């Protein structure tokens, strides 16, 4: 068992993959917890696709892709808010339009500018190809976001559950909104190398949603979600190493399996452990047993 655990660590690319996997596993559920309680889970996926035009432009001009991706992601978030404020269009429709438009623009720019971007790596991640520079960048983003959440936890909590009340007491809700969008964009950028933009929504939502079924408080949800995220990341990387399957999808599948287990067996919300469900199953089994044991009536 010890050899099974230590063998992958003899390779530098595996050590780098586990390091960035742990960082992403902690960061994504913390941010994703806010998305879940605000019922904006798909926003992470929208922002993930909005970064593609900025990524393409940055690559063409030889600028750090973080700058272009960050600006493009914020532009997408601003467009969603502007459409909502200037029309009767609901948020889901605004997100769908922005999602498709930015993604189409990004693919077009890649073709027109003849950028040699590895789309497979961008879409599905390449965690086994991360460098020390990627780890340093992700570490800085992770520490920065966790520090912001720690410092402004009460304000974010109030804004999350009662935006009208937050506005009434004088909190700058517009600043908080765009700050939150910036946080999501940075989280997506930090996670792109690990799982790619298509699968990043699963890391944002999966571990946090699993924790949501197990605990009741937001801070507990973020803490437990981070633990689940790290477990899913490390386990997925090991499965990828030993069974030769893509690392990003392996991480996501482990996260999904953990969610299914929580959905079935959560002490308070599990399908199979709820008192009414357990009682129903017991009654059905008892009824079946009684019918089987009942003697045949005389002819």
Which residues contact residue 206 at a Cβ distance below 8 angstroms, ignoring those fewer than 6 apart? 32, 229, 232, 252, 255, 256, 258, 259
**Residue 297 domain flag:** no
The tokens describing 100, both together, are 């498709």
Q: Which of 17, 87, 74, 66 is nearest to 47 (CA)?
A: 74
**Residue 93 domain flag:** yes
**Residue 140 domain flag:** yes
> CB of 168 within 8 A of CB of 56?
no
Report the distance separating Cα 168 and Cα 177, nearest Å: 16
**Residue 124 domain flag:** yes
pLDDT digit string, tens, across residues 157-179: 888 888 888 888 888 888 888 88
Which residues contact residue 105 at a Cβ distance below 8 angstroms, ignoring those fewer than 6 apart? 52, 53
> CB of 105 within 8 A of CB of 224?
no
**pLDDT value, residue 29:** 94
**Residue 51 domain flag:** yes
How many CA atoms, within 13 angstroms, populate the side-chain half-sphere of residue 190? 31
Which domain, by its residues, includes 217?
2-291
Report the distance separating Cα 241 and Cα 237, nearest Å: 6
Read off the pTM. 0.84
**pLDDT value, residue 299:** 44
**Residue 296 domain flag:** no
Please identify every stretch of the chain with a pLDDT value under 50, giving residue numbers as ranges: 297-299
**Residue 298 domain flag:** no
pLDDT digit string, tens, across residues 107-158: 898 888 887 777 677 777 778 888 898 899 899 999 999 999 999 998 888 8
Task: Give SS3 for 81.
Answer: helix
**Torsion angle in degrees (nearest 10) through CA of 163, 169, 170, 176:** -30
Report the distance separating Cα 15 and Cα 113, nearest Å: 35
**pLDDT value, residue 297:** 47
**pLDDT value, residue 207:** 94
The tokens describing 164, both together, are 């009208």
Tally the domains of the chain: 1
**Residue 299 domain flag:** no
**pLDDT value, residue 165:** 87
Here the CATH number for the domain that contains residue 213 is 1.10.3470.10
| CA 291 to the chain's CA centroid | 49
């Amino acid at each position: 068992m010890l050899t099974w655990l230590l063998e992958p660590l003899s390779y530098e690319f595996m050590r780098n993959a586990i390091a960035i996997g742990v960082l992403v596993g902690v960061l994504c559920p913390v941010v994703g917890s806010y998305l879940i309680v605000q019922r904006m889970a798909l926003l992470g996926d929208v922002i993930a696709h909005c970064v593609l035009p900025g990524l393409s432009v940055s690559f063409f001009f030889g600028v750090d892709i973080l700058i272009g991706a960050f600006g493009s992601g914020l532009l997408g978030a601003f467009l969603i808010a502007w459409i909502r404020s200037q029309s009767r269009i609901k948020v889901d429709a605004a997100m769908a339009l922005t999602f498709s438009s930015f993604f189409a623009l990004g693919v077009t720019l890649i073709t027109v500018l003849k950028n040699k971007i590895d789309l497979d790596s961008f879409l599905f991640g390449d965690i086994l190809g991360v460098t020390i520079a990627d780890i340093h960048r992700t570490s800085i983003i992770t520490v920065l976001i966790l520090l912001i959440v720690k410092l402004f936890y009460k304000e974010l909590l109030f804004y999350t559950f009662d935006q009208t009340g937050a506005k009434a007491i004088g909190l700058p809700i517009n600043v908080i909104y765009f700050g939150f969008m910036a946080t999501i964009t940075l989280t997506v950028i930090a996670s792109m190398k690990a799982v790619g933009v298509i699968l990043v929504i699963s890391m944002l939502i999966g571990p946090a949603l699993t924790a949501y079924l197990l605990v009741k408080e937001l801070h507990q949800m973020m803490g437990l979600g981070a633990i689940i995220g790290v477990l899913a990341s490390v386990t997925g990387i090991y499965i990828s190493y030993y069974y030769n399957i893509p690392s990003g999808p392996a991480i996501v599948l482990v996260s999904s399996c953990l969610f299914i287990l929580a959905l079935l067996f959560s002490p308070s919300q599990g399908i199979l452990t709820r008192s009414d469900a357990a009682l129903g199953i017991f009654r059905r089994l008892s009824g079946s047993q009684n019918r089987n044991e009942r003697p045949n009536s005389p002819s």
